[in-house]
Structure 1
Amino acid sequence: MCYPKLPSLTKEVDDKRRKAQRRRRTSRNATSSVAVPEAIFRCVICTDDVPRVSLSSSITAACSHPPQTCRPCISSWISSRLKSSGHGSLTCPQCNERLNDMEIKAFATPEVYEEYEVLVLCSSLSDNPEFHWCIGPGCQYGQLHADSNPIFRCAQCSFRSCIEHKVPWHDGFTCTEYDASIVSRQREMEEAASKKKIKQTSRQCPGENCGWRIEKNEGCDHITCRKCKTEFCWLCKANYKDIRRHGNMAHRRTRRYYSTNLPAL
């Protein structure tokens, strides 16, 4: 049996169907437009939250831990270590694994990496026994010097220095003579230091024609010279013959044994 189509009902059903289709399309579009949240980590140095995709799986090829330091902090770490400890101390900030050249270049700023390259070059040159740096004032030039002549003349500033002693060239002295002069000066300095020490820790005997130096570590200030047997006060050098004759008035007025400086009984 056939039933006639009801126009009003059919239109209502079609409208509902179209609305449902629109809702499904809108839902699919909304679902596809929702961004999947990125994996992030918190930097152990600056404590900022950083997308993990900004770093590779590890800071160095030898690191066994996941990276927990952001790229700016790694860059700052490299710069700081380079200035404080030199190019040989550049390691991962989380462990002690060394950064290789490519890793340093990847994290450091161009300026810091250029400084690193200069330090590496200087270190390499310094390992060559025939390479010498000029020690002239303000000069940063260096050159090879394979000659047996100990006089090094800088090609940049013409400053002359001694390869053997690493000092400005000692005009008037051969290296052997310069060595002898160093030994002589060292001996003179030691003797001068010894005399100064003796003078600070000893007193000269005031006995007539004696002058013997006496050292006192502790004990009474009544001293007897072993050489001439003169008895004197350690503090003011008053002779005990005078002290026995005149009493404590024989001491210097500024010293504690002078009569008026003694504590009252």
Structure 2
Amino acid sequence: ECAALQDDELVALEAIYPPEQLRIVRKSGERQTEVTFNVPVSLHKETDVYIQVDGKPGEDLPPLRLLHLPPLALTVSLPPLYPLQEPPRIVRLAAPWISDVSSSRAQWVRQRLLEQWQEVQGEVLWTYGEWAREGWVDETLRSRSNSPFSNGKTSKGLYFQHSNHNTAPSKTGTPLTRPLGDTLSAYDRLARQSAFGKERFLCSICLEAKRGEACTRIEACGHVFCRECLLDYLTLHLTEGSLRLALSCPDASCVSSKALLKAGSISVSELSDFLKETPSLLTRLRFLEEKEAAEADPTAVPCPRPDCQTLTPKDASNDNSSRWEAFRQCRTCSYSFCVWCRKTWHAPSPCSLPSTSSLLDKYAAATPEVRRALEARYGRKNLLRLKAQYEEEKANQEWLKGKTQACPHCSSRIEKSLGCNHMTCQHCQSHFCYLCGSRLNAAHPYQHFNTPGSPCFNRLFD
């Protein structure tokens, strides 16, 4: 009778569980059967998982938010009198969060499985499999549970034990403190990807339902798009140079949201991972990132080379001395230039900026914000130097205009200290009138002063 009940139960189990989750080994010589469950643990919802290191409370480490746990591998042997008189014998019990089969956690699992059979004294293999899948989690998360996987007070999460004694040291000699957490996180990530790939989603761009393996989910907002549509969307905005739109979720609810850069944003790392198979777009993304960072840096200026124009910020490794304040080296073409005059780096020689009145008039009439921008571009000391030079030059020109006369042939300025108004230029030997600046006949230079009706008539000695 027990053998028949065992056969019926095993047939039912084979119909319920896929081959990768169930293995049945029949030992004809010993008239015993071994059943191995390898059922993934379901948490139903994201659950906090704390890692206790060497018996210390797990709250000092940030919890893991997990939805899947690696399988609790359970192997039981069916004695001849199972299921009516004997319980299944536990042969093997293993899981990443059960570090020692003799630990209190392992003993608690064995005891709870035995109690499952004692309650019914019948077929319990399916109960064992489902308890390994989710039963122990439900008991642990129950308020004031006596499960060793809880803290015994609240039901806020699962607590697993990890020992540093079994952990290899890192390259720095410091023991790694969370290899168990890394294992659980990696399994959870792969399990989420596998579950995502088996579902079907509606792409809000092409409005077609596609399998998850052909789609991508935005982590921040959870919207799903098929990869083909999302790639077209990113290609458009990256090509046009709009990094802000490329980093925004294209779903209508995110586009219309005022908090576009929060709930509906795509992280740069997420975008880089998506574009890893399109090197040209990935390169374009890196360029736009650097460009955006440089535009936000007030010390950044475009490279003076017409075929480059790369925004070049100040090198943080340079000291803050005035000598290196204007130094820039383009990261694209390696051109070293002065940020003020936009010419090849010339320190310690001063800049040869044009002392144009338009620049100085703009600086003099500018608002404080515009003035700071001009000082950031040309340098405050340079502008003050140009202003002093310009004012000196302007004063010189005014003095020359009022006190001298220009030669009509070579434009040399000549000052009369004494004598008549007949002047002879020392540079070109031209004869001219000091009063009106007109040329004089070299053979008859005084005719200009003796001709009635002339503006300089009788003014030879004025």
TM-score (norm 1): 0.40
Give the alignment's TM-score, normalised by structure 2: 0.25
If asked which structure has higher relative contact order (CA below 8 Å, sep 6+), I would say: 2
Higher helix share: 1
